[in-house]
């Protein structure tokens, strides 16, 4: 993804949709709340003053949640801001109904947007209904993707596997959809419950086997491992913020090490 995530700005927060697997609306509500164009330009100018010359990611939950504000306020302002500059590339995420608005896509491209992340989730209608992804239902999703692409926006797609309605054929269906749509960056994730796990507070003595496992983890992950900086960062953060979860943090770090090792062996 190049350096898109390195520098970011935001125009809106909140989403009009209510996908069951997503916690955005639970945290920020259904009504998108927008910044003024002046606030966004101030953020962009601040990045420029700091020396940033790369692409910028608009981290909105759904960039097109308020189309009127985009068309009438922000995008015309960004188009003017881009004039006289070498051209700053923008990247954002939006719902698939972006494909329905040719004028909006034209303005986005003129303002400097060249990539958009779209939550496709699944090509199966049953899965879309199950997760309440109404905006994706009863649409020709491949045609929608191609319409966005033809407008000048590279589509990066998000996909989910693991809905209750999924059958073993879902893997081939997902691959077929990605191939036919021409999505070059497809992020496929396993559906799982949002992490609200609250471990019980148990008082237990440190066993010799656990102590040796901790020493081996420090050696393999903390000294020789490619993830050593992340490993020590995790342990330090846990020590200060969630000290009772320190054993769990070590355990999950070891899990991650084995998962990555398995992927390398399998060539994944």
Q: Reply yes or no on whether the pLDDT at 204 is more than 60.
A: no
Write the CATH number of the domain with boundaries 4-190: 3.20.20.70
What is the length of the chain? 268
| Average pLDDT taken over every residue of the chain | 87
Q: Per-residue pLDDT tens for 215-240? A: 999 999 999 988 899 999 999 999 99
**DSSP structure class, residue 126:** H
CA 77/CA 37 separation, integer angstroms:
7
- Give residue limits of the domains in the chain: 4-190, 208-266
> How many other C-beta atoms are found inside a 10 Å radius of the C-beta of residue 153?
23
Residue range 137-188, pLDDT digits in tens: 999 999 999 999 999 999 999 999 999 999 999 999 999 999 999 998 999 9
In this prediction, residue 14 carries a pLDDT of: 75
Degrees, nearest 5: CA angle 65-32-118: 35
Q: In whole angstroms, how far apart are CA 142 and each of 135, 139, 264?
A: 14, 9, 32
């Amino acid at each position: 993804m190049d350096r898109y995530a390195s520098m970011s700005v935001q125009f809106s927060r909140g989403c009009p949709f209510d996908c069951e697997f997503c916690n955005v609306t639970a945290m920020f509500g259904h009504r998108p709340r927008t910044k003024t164009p002046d606030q966004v330009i101030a953020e962009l100018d601040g990045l420029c003053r700091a020396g940033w010359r790369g692409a910028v990611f608009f981290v909105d939950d759904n960039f097109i949640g308020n189309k009127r504000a985009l068309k009438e306020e922000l995008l015309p302002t960004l188009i003017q801001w881009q004039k006289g500059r070498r051209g700053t590339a923008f990247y954002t995420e939006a719902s698939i109904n972006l494909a329905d608005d040719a004028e909006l896509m034209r303005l986005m491209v003129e303002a400097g947007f060249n990539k958009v992340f779209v939550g496709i989730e699944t090509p199966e209608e049953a899965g879309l209904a199950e997760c309440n992804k109404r905006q994706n239902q009863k649409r020709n999703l491949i045609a929608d993707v191609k319409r966005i692409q033809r407008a000048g926006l590279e589509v990066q797609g998000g996909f989910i596997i693991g809905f209750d309605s999924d059958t073993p054929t879902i893997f081939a269906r997902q691959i077929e959809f990605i191939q036919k749509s021409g999505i070059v960056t497809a992020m496929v994730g396993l559906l799982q419950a949002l992490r609200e796990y609250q471990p019980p507070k148990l008082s237990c003595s440190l066993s010799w086997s656990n102590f040796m496992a901790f020493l081996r983890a420090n050696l393999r992950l903390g000294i020789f491992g490619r993830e050593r900086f992340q490993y020590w960062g995790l342990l330090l953060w846990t020590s200060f913020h969630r000290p009772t979860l320190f054993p769990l943090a070590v355990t999950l770090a070891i899990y991650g090490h084995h998962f990555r090792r398995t992927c390398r062996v399998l060539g994944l």
